[in-house]
């Protein structure tokens, strides 16, 4: 299955933050939606960065709890690696492993259309493995 197929199986809107949002508000959004990262967009909806729970932990560890009043722009990663609707699960896994991150925003025709997390990738990989096992069992039983 490719990214477009995974996105179809996911429900819910894409959660975004603005560069001027506070880390405190962003931490609350991460918690209330039970997610680990949020894409940062400008007023036109263009991708400006990504901020994950790891960035917030690092901000607090390095600058203390008052950094929760700082804005997202200060601690987000601006150089975002993305994926496209036609990318495969194997390509996502290798991009996440190489980049050492767990989230990939999906961009189609220059527009942000979703986000894939490592949880989505693992879920899909397990489903594919189970299908392969079933097919193998069927093949052995029929032999
Ligand atoms: P994560 O593992 O996704 O929580 O992110 C770990 C670090 O990588 C954080 O500093 C994120 O801002 C950054 N990061 C997460 N996803 C991406 C991405 N797709 N492209 C570039 N950096 C990312």
pTM (2 d.p.): 0.91
Q: Which atom belonging to ligand 1 lies closest to the Cα atom of 95?
A: 19
Terminal alpha carbon distance of the chain = 28
Ordered by where they begin, the domains of the chain are 3-142 (3.10.580.10)
**Residues 54-103: pLDDT tens digits?**
999 999 999 999 999 999 999 999 999 999 999 999 999 999 999 999 99
SS3 31: helix
SS3 42: coil
**Residues 5-54: pLDDT tens digits?**
999 998 778 999 999 999 999 999 999 999 999 999 999 999 999 999 99
CA of 116 to the centre of ligand 1 (A): 12
List ligand 1's pocket residues with C-beta within 6 A.
Answer: 36-37, 50-52, 54-55, 77, 80-81, 99, 101-104
- Segment 109-133 mean pLDDT: 93
Q: Using the structure block, give the residue that is written with the tokens 């429900």.
A: 11
Beta strand segments in the chain, E: 16-17, 37-41, 47-52, 103-108, 111-117
- Segment 100-114 mean pLDDT: 96
Mutate to test the pocket of ligand 1, among 19, 50, 60, 79 (most ligand atoms within 8 A of CB): 50
């Amino acid at each position: 299955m490719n990214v477009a197929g995974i996105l179809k199986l996911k429900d819910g809107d894409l959660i975004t933050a603005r560069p001027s949002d506070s880390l405190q508000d962003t931490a609350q959004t991460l918690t209330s939606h039970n997610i680990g990262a949020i894409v940062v967009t400008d007023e036109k909806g263009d991708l400006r960065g990504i901020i994950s729970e790891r960035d917030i932990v690092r901000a607090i560890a390095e600058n203390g709890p008052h950094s929760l009043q700082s804005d997202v722009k200060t601690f987000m990663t601006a150089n975002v690696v993305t994926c496209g609707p036609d990318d495969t699960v194997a390509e996502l896994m290798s991009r996440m492993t190489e980049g050492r991150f767990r989230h990939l925003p999906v961009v189609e025709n220059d527009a942000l259309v979703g986000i894939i997390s490592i949880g989505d990738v693992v879920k899909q990989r397990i489903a594919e493995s189970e299908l392969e096992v079933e097919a193998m069992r069927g093949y052995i039983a029929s032999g």
